[in-house]
């Protein structure tokens, strides 16, 4: 019986957190605390945002695992669940897994995890969503898409968001590393890439062209570290 995907994400975040030095952990705690508002967390623009609030609350649980709330690892918003897109189906899938407390079994209608028909139009995140759902439900992974995902990793160790993306980014790298580790697929060393995105502020930058962070990218930084430091 497979563990729900969101619990696997949480475990990866914890591995990433525990791999950091005490000084880095203190800096990260302070940065995340600086992003908190009276009712949630701020987005990159400094405004309170429910979407970013979810990342902030998950990070609180990661820093103090005994505080993990039942609703603390639901990373979705109502608008996303309603959309008939890969992401909408993915969020609905996560919600169902958590509701039943276990990974779902294959369904007669497998359209919820259908891969995009054109690789040239695919994005790293969308392919990761579908491959993760297939894995969780016991559907064999499409090796063509697994290889496509592996090819998004460049010589720096980072992953690009698509074939057209000019540079790799931390979000794409984190979800690709997590997904490929989930599938047991091989990846090149990404640690130097992830470490290069660490900021003295205690967060992680979205790309090497950025010098800011927010709670969402702290989340992705820890997810990447935890996927690299897989047990």
Q: Considering only CA atoms, which of 214, 171, 218, 191 is closest in space to residue 61?
A: 218
Say what the pLDDT of residue 105 is: 56
Summarize pLDDT for 7-52 with one digit per residue, the tens.
899 999 999 999 999 999 999 999 999 999 988 899 988 999 888 9
* pLDDT the model gives residue 140: 87
- Single pTM value for the model: 0.89
Q: Where are the domains of the chain?
A: 5-228
> What is the rounded average pLDDT for all residues in the chain?
85
pLDDT at 72: 47
pLDDT above 90 covers a percentage of the chain that reads 56
Q: How many CB atoms lie within 10 A of CB 224?
A: 31
């Amino acid at each position: 019986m497979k563990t729900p995907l969101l619990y696997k994400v949480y475990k990866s975040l914890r591995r990433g957190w525990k791999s950091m030095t005490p000084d880095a952990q203190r800096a990260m705690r302070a940065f995340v605390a600086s992003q908190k508002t009276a009712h949630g967390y701020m987005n990159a623009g400094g405004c309170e945002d429910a979407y970013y609030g979810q990342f902030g609350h998950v990070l609180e649980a990661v820093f103090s695992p005994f505080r993990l709330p039942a609703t603390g690892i639901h990373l979705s918003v109502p608008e996303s669940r309603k959309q008939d897109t890969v992401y909408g189906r993915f969020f609905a899938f996560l919600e169902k897994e958590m509701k039943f407390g276990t990974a779902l079994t294959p369904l007669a209608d497998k359209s919820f995890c259908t891969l995009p028909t054109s690789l040239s139009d695919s994005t790293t995140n969308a392919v990761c969503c579908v491959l993760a759902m297939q894995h969780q439900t016991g559907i064999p992974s499409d090796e063509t898409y697994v290889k496509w995902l592996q090819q998004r990793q460049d010589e720096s160790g980072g992953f690009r968001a698509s074939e057209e993306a000019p540079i790799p980014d931390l979000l794409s790298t984190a979800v690709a590393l997590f997904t490929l580790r989930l599938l047991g697929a091989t990846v090149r060393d990404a640690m130097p890439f992830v470490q290069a995105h660490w900021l003295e502020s205690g967060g992680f930058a979205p790309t090497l062209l950025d010098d800011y962070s927010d709670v969402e990218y702290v989340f992705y930084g820890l997810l990447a570290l935890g996927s690299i430091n897989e047990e």
